[in-house]
Amino acid sequence: MNDAQLNSANPPISSLLRGITWLEVLVLIVTGGGLFFLPDLAREQWPWAIAPFNGRFVGTVYLGSFVSAMLMAFHGRWSPGRIVLPMIFIFTTIVLGVSFLHLDQFDLQRWQPWIWFLLYIVLPINSAYHLWLYRDRQSADSFSTPSHWRGSFLILSVLFGVYGLALLFFPTASSAFWPWPIDGFHGQMYSVVFITPAIGLFLIASRASSLEWKTLGLTQLVIGACAIIGLLLVDAVVPPEKKVNWALAGTWLWLLIMAVYGGVGVSMLFRAGRNQEAG
């Protein structure tokens, strides 16, 4: 398929959506990169008080989000927008709701929380509008997902979704096994780490383009890998009383979850490459 045929089969997204997504990309790389690579500096500017382990993990989530948002903004077309747009809507809507539920976490005398709420009001409204605008669009440049992949995606979608909902409604109990203490606020925030890819996996379970496989795969790889790396980096510098207890089974369960999370991304990237070669 040549470029002209591909573009005709894969319609563009609106200039409004693309422009706001580019703004989101800028915010994500600055905040995600800051929290992950310059954590001490970035935490001082964060909208709420955030401890080292949470700061690195939030940075991880934002770096993963940067990948999917950047790919949608860069390509500017319905693929990969078909899967990224619903993921942005779910992510930002949950974060906005949790932020309002825990308004006491924000010092509204500072300017950072106001920027936070402005962004998280604009982004879900923008994505909801475009989801409605494109409600009749079908998948673009796509192929049927092989049956064994379809089954795996649906199972993972259910598992991720159920655990994400558990974090949202029972945050403290559902995160009790994590390698560092998680309060209710952060536990609910972290629900998006699992609910968001659950939506993406469900959407590509029946049909998807190679670019959509790559987008979701790379996003999961970045989050899975950076979560583990971030844990090790923070554990190396925190005081002894705050270090990870490597003797606990929960620590290794969390590492396994993140390894599977990233490993699924790697397998999707390999499969996407094979699909592209076959096409």
Handedness of CA 78, 156, 210, 28 (dihedral sign): positive
Which tokens sit at 232? 């090790």
Confidence of residue 4 (pLDDT cuts 50, 70, 90): very low
The whole domain housing 43 covers: 3-278
What pLDDT, in 10s, does the model give residues 22-37? 999 999 999 999 999 9
For the chain, what is the largest distance between any 2 Cα atoms, rounded to a whole number of angstroms?
Answer: 60
pLDDT surpasses 90 at 123: yes
Residue whose entry in the numeric block shows the structure tokens 């990237």? 269
pLDDT above 80 for 144: yes
Question: Which DSSP string do the residues of 6-20 spell out, in sequence order?
Answer: HHHHSPBPPHHHHHH
The 10s digit of each residue's pLDDT in 174-217 is 999 999 999 999 999 999 999 999 999 999 999 999 999 999 99
State how many domains the chain has: 1
Whether residue 2 has pLDDT greater than 50: no
| Mean pLDDT (the chain, rounded) | 95
pLDDT of residue 274: 73
Peptide bond between residue 171 and the one before it cis (omega within 30 degrees of 0): no
Q: Is the pLDDT of residue 52 over 60?
A: yes
Query: Tokens 């659950």, residue?
Result: 198
pLDDT at residue number 165: 99
